[in-house]
Structure 1
Amino acid sequence: MASFRKRGTAWEYRIRYADRQTGTYKEKTKGGFKTKKEAQIAAAEEESKINQFGFAENGSERVDNFFDDWLEVYKRPNLKPITFTLQERNVRLNILPRWGKYRLKDITRNEYQKWINELRGHYSEGTVRRIHSIFSSAMTDAVHEFRILRENPVQKIKIPKQADKSSKVAYFTREQLEEFFDCVKTPVKKAKYQHSIQYYAFFTLMARTGLRIGEALALTWDDLNFDAKTLTVNKTLVYPLNSQPYLSTPKTKNSERTIKLDEITLKLIRRHRINQKEVCLMYENYKPTKDNIIFHQHDGRWLRTNVVRDYFKEICKRADLPVLSPHALRHTHAVHLLEAGANIKYVSERLGHASVKVTADTYLHVTKKIEDDALALYERYVQN
């Protein structure tokens, strides 16, 4: 029910209502009306909205305070720790520096779209989509869960497209891969553990199976079946910055898989197992692992992801190759399989992709070549 009073020469209304979400009573006041009639009309319109939506528009909360609550209440309890860490990092590094001091109700679609366009100048389409997804999800919860906005101000925003999808896939050609492994096998003078073949075995396994780096680092000897010539992937190693590593479930449901190993890989992994024991005897401070880990540090703990990445890049430089990341070995395996004529469904299952569409979209440049080659074969067939 609205009440009215005159303050000076202007009128104001005050509406008291029960918030459906919390059950508490709230008030909304607005003044500056020239006549009581104007105040009554405005109050009636506002009461109609409150009856429809169940709350009065507020949105005066600052974005930084709102995101703090949103992350703790709706995200932390429902996400894997690594996923929560990535979302919190995007909020802290990308969203709050730009929007933190704004009030929720001051966010406009036009200004937000300009910001998204600016982000595309610094990040890939996929990264910008992830940042926007976090922001839009928070605003949707501000409407339906926190009930402090009537509508999401960043709905139907357009993300500028990737100019060339194939350019985002970095991989080695067969010749480059051979040069890479020639360099890995060559001992570095004065290297601390130069008799160890661990990195050679590790990178070979990634290049010949398409494992993600976390999946490869998480492997134990129990995951290998030498008789069946298979490798079981059922976990991934998460190594957060400035924190302790831990094992988590794989990226997607399809990421849990059993992979067939080729003879070259099997032979090298057997050799690595023997070499691992020899290195422990050879170097006094090189300790055997207590957790049956296939690839480990000198003290027996999990290999650090950042150390593996740095070493990989160092090899690329020594071999005078494009400086890529270890993930390029996964792309390399997929591309080489497809170029060799492997069925795309088999490649998708081997990589643990969520769907065949993900595989086809990721390796569009290769699948297009396969299409052209298949059509050429068909044309030759029907002409004979």
Structure 2
Amino acid sequence: MFKDKTYKRCACKGPLTDKKGKQILNEDGTPKIGYLEKRCPMLKRRDHGSWYYSIEIPAGPGGKRRHPKKGGFKTQEQAAAAAAKVYRDAQAGVDVLSDETVGEYLRHWLDNQHDLKATTRNGYEDYLRLFFTPYLGHIKLRELRPRHIEEMFAAIQAENQVKAKNREKAQLAREAEKNAHVAWRDATAPRDPQLRKTWTEAKEALKAANALPRRDTGPATQHRIKMALSSALEDARKRRMITDNWAAMTQTPRIRKPKALEWTPARVEAWRTTGKKPSPVMVWTPQQTGTFLDSVVYDRLYPLWVVIAFLGLRRGEACALSWSEVDLDAGVIHITEEIVTIAYEPHEDTPKSDNIRDIALDEDTIALLRWWRERQQDEKEQWLEATGERNDTGRVFTLEDGTEYHPQYFSDRFERLYKKADVPPIRLHDLRHGSATLALRAGVAMVAVQRRLGHSSIRVTSDIYTTVLAEVEREAAEATVSVVPRSRKRVIPQPKGEAEAQVEQT
């Protein structure tokens, strides 16, 4: 169908002729020189020129005829195959003449996503600025293919290698600055001016090294980049702007989610020796949690640490918790909002995965929150008496003047307190993980733990706590056996003679 729509042309120049073969002249009577294109006599040679196609597709708005054209093919067969592909796409509704680029489409697509959470939108903006626009933005949307997306991820991997070297440079610069500082500090008076100069130069070198990009775009982030692009391209496919969702065909590195590990005595000893954590996600044992809580009982934010340690709130959920969502008479708190940070700026949002939930309270926590509410009221009266004004945010956890906390303050404060308590390091988010392990050890069903933590599915909960669950299951196995009373302590059968001798001895 398209063979007679293909033709050969080249970029040779020579005397031009009209359709009847008559030479075209300039105004002064000299032959007009221009591109010969299809009329070049050398086109009969196999290695001269290239093949093009020109086809007619369904008319556009107003009945205007449309003729897609493209060249640069080495053979007529390649040109014919490309023409057939374009024709099929056009018949499927794809605008094969559109010049809209991937960058233009993604910008328009993101601007029209009105239901995205603030953190999700901010992430998409970063992907558009850092990855999509630099690597894909110039490509026409209709010409996008999996290889273009694969090349983007290959470039990300190459950048990660550069960042690894930058981290090494920063570490060396940090050690050099530390050594230069120590040399200057420990020098006897009068100090050699060269020591101060060396320290100053080392500080400048460290500042320059820290300014280099060092944070990897890891497998999890690459997966989110792919899913964001896939979501946008799926919308384009449904609108018949493209034929396939090319991002869905692209592979990204496998995500290896860290498992929650407990700080066993052996792991604590190894950490004190090497300074290395066995896993990015570590949780305290019940004893370690108790040690921490006992050490912070007189900290002003003690109720906060208790709430996170036992109820498993995210820091943003604790930061946003309002007294209007706390029903101490019914013994329940309602998790309805969260404070998230975007470029360090706090924003109110719904909980992660939009998981609005209720969490039941134990009697001790109810009593602690009643005490905290009374103390907060006393602080309010004292502040008004001293200053005449006070912020009234209605939050459960606020500064003395009623101002709500920035979520990062909780993390920073927690780090200082656990170091002072001399317990192994965990993140504030790991204190939330610890609440789950405490519940599992207490025999709480997995589905109840999932609801309390606000996970999107029970699989998320089980994936995180696989290692801890194994320990809980061993404890359950021991508990099950201990229920049955036995007259013999030894449960492994022995030969009859040995058993009788043992009985006689006892």
TM-score scaled by length of structure 1: 0.78
Which secondary structure state, in structure 2, belongs to the residue aligned with residue 165 of structure 1?
coil
- Counterpart CA distance in 2 for 1:106 and 1:59 is 16
Conserved in 2, the CA contact under 8 Å of 1:112 and 1:154?
Answer: no
* Counterpart check, 1:128 vs 2:222: yes
Task: Pick the aligned partner of 1:53 from 75, 86, 92.
Answer: 92
**Residue in 2 that maps onto 1:273:** 373
- Counterpart CA distance in 2 for 1:345 and 1:249 is 22
Residue 206 and residue 107 in structure 1: after superposition, are their counterparts in 2 closer, same or farther (change >3 A)?
A: same
Task: Pick the aligned partner of 2:430 from 290, 315, 328.
Answer: 328
Residue 132 and residue 32 in structure 1: after superposition, are their counterparts in 2 closer, same or farther (change >3 A)?
A: closer
Offset at residue 299 of structure 1 (A):
4.0
Task: Pick the aligned partner of 1:145 from 239, 253, 256.
Answer: 239
Offset at residue 95 of structure 1 (A):
4.8
* Counterpart check, 1:249 vs 2:288: no
- Counterpart CA distance in 1 for 2:74 and 2:325 is 78
How many pairs are equivalent?
Answer: 369
Aligned partner of 2:222: which letter? V
Residue 136 and residue 338 in structure 1: after superposition, are their counterparts in 2 closer, same or farther (change >3 A)?
A: same
- Counterpart CA distance in 1 for 2:308 and 2:388 is 24
- Counterpart CA distance in 2 for 1:269 and 1:127 is 38
**Residue in 2 that maps onto 1:89:** 126
- Counterpart CA distance in 2 for 1:361 and 1:150 is 33
Q: Which moved more, 1:200-209 or 1:22-31?
A: 22-31
Q: Say which one has the larger Rg.
A: 2
Runs of 4+ residues deviating >4 angstroms: 1-6, 18-27, 32-35, 37-40, 56-63, 93-104, 115-121, 148-151, 285-289, 375-384
- Counterpart CA distance in 2 for 1:72 and 1:370 is 48
Offset at residue 45 of structure 1 (A):
1.9
Offset at residue 348 of structure 1 (A):
1.6
Task: Flag structure 1 segments of 5+ consecutive residues without an equivalent.
Answer: 188-196
Which secondary structure state, in structure 2, belongs to the residue aligned with residue 252 of structure 1?
helix
Aligned partner of 1:347: which letter? V
- Greater relative CO, 1 or 2 (CA 8 Å, sep 6+): 1
Conserved in 2, the CA contact under 8 Å of 1:19 and 1:55?
Answer: no
Please list, as runs of the form range in 1=range in 2, the aligned pairs for 1:295-314 lying within 5 A after superposition. 295-314=397-416
Task: Pick the aligned partner of 2:68 from 23, 28, 42.
Answer: 28
**Residue in 1 that maps onto 2:287:** 175
Which secondary structure state, in structure 1, belongs to the residue aligned with residue 121 of structure 2?
helix
- Counterpart CA distance in 1 for 2:228 and 2:242 is 18
Residue 117 and residue 366 in structure 1: after superposition, are their counterparts in 2 closer, same or farther (change >3 A)?
A: farther
Residue 272 and residue 34 in structure 1: after superposition, are their counterparts in 2 closer, same or farther (change >3 A)?
A: closer
Aligned partner of 1:29: which letter? K
Conserved in 2, the CA contact under 8 Å of 1:21 and 1:147?
Answer: no
Offset at residue 355 of structure 1 (A):
2.5
Conserved in 2, the CA contact under 8 Å of 1:171 and 1:332?
Answer: yes
Task: Flag structure 2 segments of 5+ consecutive residues without an equivalent.
Answer: 10-36, 41-48, 165-215, 261-278, 487-506
Task: Pick the aligned partner of 1:72 from 111, 120, 124.
Answer: 111
